[in-house]
Amino acid sequence: MDVLSYRPDPSEFAWTFGGVPPVRTVRPGDILELWTEDAFGGKVRGPDDHVSRVIEFPFVNPQTGPFFVEGAEPGDTLAIHFISIEPSRDWAASCTVPLFGALTTTARTPLLHDPLPERVWIYEVDRDARTVGYHATEGDHTATLPLDPMHGTVGVAPAAFEARSSLVPDAHGGNMDTPEMRAGVTCYLGVNVEGALFSIGDGHCRQGEGETCGVAVEAAMDTVVVIDVVKGRPTPWPRLESDTHLMSTGSARPLEDAFRIAHADLVSWMGDEFGLETLDAYQLLTQVSESPVANVVDPNYTFLTKVRKEYLPRVDTYDGVHTRLRDTAVRYRG
């Protein structure tokens, strides 16, 4: 069990998927203990830390990586199993960002209104109680919310010689912002370039489905992953597997196309590996899909759809890599 610990210096952050040289080389089976900075580079710490003031575009959403995975080649699938995701500070931040969010004029839905006001919310993070604390900025309402840590951004270098901003989700993964990317889950990403070149970042203590204002409870994270490569097995869009569910994602606009991609991909997965004829898979998925929306704010919107494994034929999908990585996780935790 090889364990690599890596905490990037701010000068080492990656701001794109693709177009960046690797920070480390790793091997299938390796465990990586990583630290990721929050999406604001740790610069939003109080009520006056407006993004328009403290962030210089495009230096937003720093990624830890990329990592070159030995033996990963185009046509393979990279499996990243999240052993643990833990906030590394006792506070986290959210805010409104001008021209960003689902309920405001944006750069891509430009209207003649002025931007909404900028405002910051600081959450206290109680790692023992597993909660985060919300405080209204006007009035005295507070709410104690469950801690449910996740990574908003997980991806590899894209195909077609592209380099994409860490704000963008697409077929290479990236800024999907799905609350399902939590500990215990294996993420499958199709490899587009030699070494896969994966990075992660954008930890959230929690977020609602859709990430409506565009900003979750953003936090630096101490995260442990174990990786593997499934050779000769392409994966067209990012997929996730938990002990109980298979999940497909789609990232596109309009939102119905993200929905279509995720559902068509899951129908195809149910067919290719579980032996269901296409219309039979379409029918079964229609009745059982759980479809939490991930984000409705990023340059592409992201949908995820889930199906319980118990409704499907018993098959070790992706050669059973999830189960093996799960076992590694147990051994790691000792």
Longest dimension (CA), the chain: 58
Distance between CA atoms of residues 222 and 48, nearest Å: 27
- Residues 53 to 72: which contact a second copy by CB under 8 A? 57-58
Q: Which of 182, 263, 322, 326: binder of a second copy (CB under 8 A)?
A: 263
Q: Is 312 in the site for a second copy (CB under 8 A)?
A: yes
Number of residues that bind a second copy (CB under 8 A): 92
Say how many CA atoms lie within 13 Å of 216 toward its Cβ.
Answer: 33
Please report whether residue 110 would count as binding a second copy according to CB under 8 A: yes
- Which residues in 269-288 contact a second copy (CB under 8 A)? 275-280, 282-288
Query: Which residues 171-200 are close enough to bind a second copy by CB under 8 A?
Result: none
Q: How many Å apart are CA 101 and CA 255, to the nearest integer?
A: 14
Query: What minimum distance in Å lies between the beta carbon of 264 and a second copy?
Result: 4
Among the listed residues 261, 321, 325, 329, the single contact to a second copy using CB under 8 A: 261
Which residues within the stretch 147-166 sit at the binding site for a second copy (CB under 8 A)?
A: 159-165
Choose, by CB under 8 A, the member of 1, 21, 128, 254 that binds a second copy.
254
* Structure-token pair, residue 89: 């500070």
Asked if 112 and 128 count as a contact pair (C-beta separation under 8 A), the reply is no
Q: How far apart are CA 234 and CA 76, in angstroms?
A: 5
Pairing, β 3-6 against β 31-36? parallel
Distance in Å, CB of 108 to a second copy, minimum = 5
Near a second copy by CB under 8 A, which window of 29-37, 44-52, 113-121, 239-247?
113-121
Binding segment for a second copy (CB under 8 A), chosen from 26-34, 70-78, 261-269, 322-330, is: 261-269
Residue with tokens 């147990």: 330
- Applying CB under 8 A, does 239 fall inside the site for a second copy? no
Residue closer to a second copy (CB basis): 242 or 289: 289
Binder of a second copy out of 29, 33, 54, 212 (CB under 8 A): 212
C-alpha angle 81/61/33, rounded to 5°?
35
Task: Give the residue, chosen from 7, 24, 53, 119, that forms a contact with a second copy under the rule CB under 8 A.
Answer: 119
CB burial readout 270-295, b (16+ within 10 A) else e: bbebbebeeeebbebbeeebeeebbb
